[in-house]
């Protein structure tokens, strides 16, 4: 069975429906960028502290399953929006000295439910029909796209925080069109008879 994912174009369409001029919009925009940028689990995201972000090292320190710490990479685009959120919108949310990157007004970490509800509302607002959208689908989408773009399953395993490669292989299924495209490129027959078709 193929894993359900959203496409990069669908994700971009969803982002375009977030009003980033508001503090809450800026917050959720950053949340979605992080989830799609490195496949972080929602349980890992909600407990992120500002001190976990290394802007110079281009990583976020994550406490994963089994309390195992790992570093996950973040792109320049995501880093820029996190910095913008911290410097602007976050201060407007009256979070004071709260250590959490994304917090409720009582200085507690944002709840998983808050993120999931926002995603449900955003999906309706975007008008995308027949699309499923959740933190876990973003994790699947990141993993699938990461491999489809040509990177290694070993790198993916490290980013996702899996203990075994078997989990990573089960967890990510390339879409049929991606498999066909790669097959055309790398099949021994395709290589052998490249100029004879």
User: What does the chain look like in DSSP terms, one character per residue?
Assistant: -PPP---HHHHHHHHTTS-TTSHHHHHHHHHHHHHHHH---HHHHTT-BGGGEETTTTEEEEE-GGG-EEEEE--HHHHHHHHHIIIIIHHHTT-TT--BSSB-TTSSBPPHHHHHHHHHHHHHHHT-TT----HHHHHHHHHHHHHHTT--HHHHHHHHT-SSHHHHHHH----HHHHHHHHHHH-HHHHHTGGG-
Among residues 41, 58, 70, 112, the one annotated as catalytic is 41
Contact yes or no for 123/133 (Cβ under 8 A): yes
Catalytic, 194? Answer no
In the residue annotation, 65 being an active-site residue is answered as yes
Among the listed residues 79, 81, 139, 157, the single catalytic one is: 139
Question: Is 139 considered catalytic here?
Answer: yes
Active site residue 140: no
Is 136 catalytic? The answer is yes
Q: Is 171 a catalytic residue?
A: yes
Single out the catalytic residue among 65, 92, 163, 181. 65
Check 58, 61, 136, 173 and give the catalytic one: 136
Question: So which residues are the catalytic ones?
Answer: 41, 65, 136, 139, 162, 171
């Amino acid at each position: 069975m193929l894993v359900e994912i959203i496409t990069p174009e669908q994700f971009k369409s969803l982002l375009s429906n977030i009003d980033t001029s508001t503090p809450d919009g800026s917050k959720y925009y950053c949340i979605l960028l992080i989830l799609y940028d490195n496949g972080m689990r929602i349980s890992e995201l909600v407990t992120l502290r500002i001190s976990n972000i290394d802007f110079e090292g281009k990583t976020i320190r994550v406490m994963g399953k089994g309390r195992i710490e790992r570093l996950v990479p973040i792109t320049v685009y995501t880093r820029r929006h996190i910095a913008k959120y911290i410097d602007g919108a976050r201060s407007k949310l009256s979070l004071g000295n709260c250590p959490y990157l994304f917090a409720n007004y009582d200085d507690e970490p944002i709840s998983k439910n808050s993120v999931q509800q926002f995603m449900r509302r955003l999906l309706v607002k975007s008008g995308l029909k027949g699309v499923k959208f959740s933190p876990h689908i973003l994790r699947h989408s990141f993993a699938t796209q990461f491999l489809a773009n040509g990177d290694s399953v070993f790198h993916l395993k490290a980013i996702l925080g899996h203990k075994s490669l078997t989990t990573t292989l089960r967890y990510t299924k390339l879409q049929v069109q991606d498999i066909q495209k790669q097959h055309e490129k790398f099949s021994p027959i395709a290589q052998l008879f490249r100029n004879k078709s």
